[in-house]
Amino acid sequence: MSLASYRTLGRSGLRVSPLCLGAMTFGEDWGWGAGVDESTNMINSYVEQGGNFIDTANIYTNNHSEKIIGDVMADNSSLRTQLVLATKFANNVFPGNPNTGGTGTKSLITNLEHSLRRLQTDYIDLYWIHSWDFLTPVEETMRALDNAVKSGKVRYIGISDAPAWKVAQANTMAWFKDWTPFIGLQIEYSLLQRTVEDELVPMALELGLGVTPWSPLKGGLLSGKYNRSNNGKVNGSRMEARGGNVSLSEKQLAIIDGLERIAQTHNTTPAAIALAWVMGKPGVTSTIIGVRNVKQLQDNIAATDAHLSADETASLDKLSTPPLTFLAEYKDLIPMIQHGGIEINGIKPPAAPFLADMQPGKY
């Protein structure tokens, strides 16, 4: 596999690389990102290796991320056609203004115009809702997004950080009203965040949404920098710059140990193995990587060459299995009750013990 092994995103014809270059680290305005020159080098290196998918947001590094990308594209006019450019709205970048946050029509139009200006482009390839707004009617948001597509200023739309039931409601409404539906779902997904497998990932598979995980290394915890020897303390890390204190649990350390063992077998890094695990999960189309320099970019791209065996994947699955939610736990019981001991679609669970003496027609 390589960055040029393109996949279609969800139920669409949009071709994207298996690794998406996340731009939350473009700009030093938040105290831990990359400078303009290094950000430019990362974009150029990513593109030279076949990458075509860049993801940013209006709020990243106080708008600077979008400006950096726009300047790079302005210096190389051929990049705009080559790149799949994604940005987001909903989070408020105008403090004190109640109508520049959320997903209302006024907020959407205002933020879209500002993003287009900073990115120095006439259109956005993929416009994401950054986080769901529970105050705005879903029909208003979907109508406004459809109008943005019809205007030519947006090509496709996606949704990030929203409950499965709301995404399903929105897309069902869009289909019935002949509006533009979401084609992508952006969610946090990693060996340390698997609760999305309960409802969000199955929903994406059912509705034809391409999953684009963010924070696949859990903010750097799975990058290889954190281990038992340093007990989660890494000088100069993003966690430290943001004032966070890392205290690794025994389960987290066991996952990191497992990554290190498999990485040694493949002669690669724990980060590459953690990324390869995410990239291989059902529904995942393009995994978003957030890096601060070209070396980190190369370390992450190495994941495209890491091919995990079924046993290696299973061992990481076992180490990282989260506590079951109600639906996930109950799901194992359902076939026992419904199948009646019969094999259906290759699944033959034992009959539920309390139904063993069932006598049809007795009553």
Q: Would you state the structure tokens that stand for residue 29, as one six-digit string?
A: 């305005």
Confidence at residue 244, expressed as pLDDT on a 0 to 100 scale: 58
Task: List beta partners, residue 185.
Answer: 159, 211
- Pairing outcome for strands 210-214 and 287-290: unpaired
**Rounded-to-integer distance, Cα 148 and Cα 153, Å:** 6
Active site (catalytic) residues: 60
Domain with CATH 3.20.20.100 in the chain: 7-322
* Residue positions counted in the chain: 363
Q: Which residues contact 258 (CB under 8 A, 6 or more apart)?
A: 315, 316, 319
Confidence at residue 157, expressed as pLDDT on a 0 to 100 scale: 98
Confidence at residue 231, expressed as pLDDT on a 0 to 100 scale: 66
**Rounded-to-integer distance, Cα 307 and Cα 318, Å:** 18
Task: List beta partners, residue 86.
Answer: 55, 126
Per-residue pLDDT of the chain (363 residues; tens, 9 = 90+): 899 999 999 999 999 999 999 999 999 999 989 999 999 999 999 999 999 999 999 999 999 999 999 999 999 989 999 999 999 999 999 989 999 999 999 999 999 999 999 999 999 999 999 999 999 999 999 999 999 999 999 999 999 999 999 999 999 999 999 999 999 999 999 999 999 999 999 999 999 999 999 999 999 999 999 888 876 566 655 555 555 557 788 999 999 999 999 999 999 999 999 999 999 999 999 999 999 999 999 999 999 999 999 999 999 999 999 988 888 778 778 888 887 778 888 888 887 777 767 677 778
Identify the CATH homologous superfamily for domain 7-322: NADP-dependent oxidoreductase domain (3.20.20.100)
Greatest distance between any 2 Cα atoms in the chain: 80
Sign of torsion, CA 10 89 48 188? Answer: negative
Q: What is the pTM of this model?
A: 0.91
- Beta carbons of 127 and 154 less than 8 angstroms apart: yes
Task: Count, in order, helices (H) and strands (E) of the chain.
Answer: 14, 10
Confidence at residue 352, expressed as pLDDT on a 0 to 100 scale: 74
Confidence at residue 247, expressed as pLDDT on a 0 to 100 scale: 78
- Beta carbons of 30 and 57 less than 8 angstroms apart: no
What average pLDDT does the chain have?
92
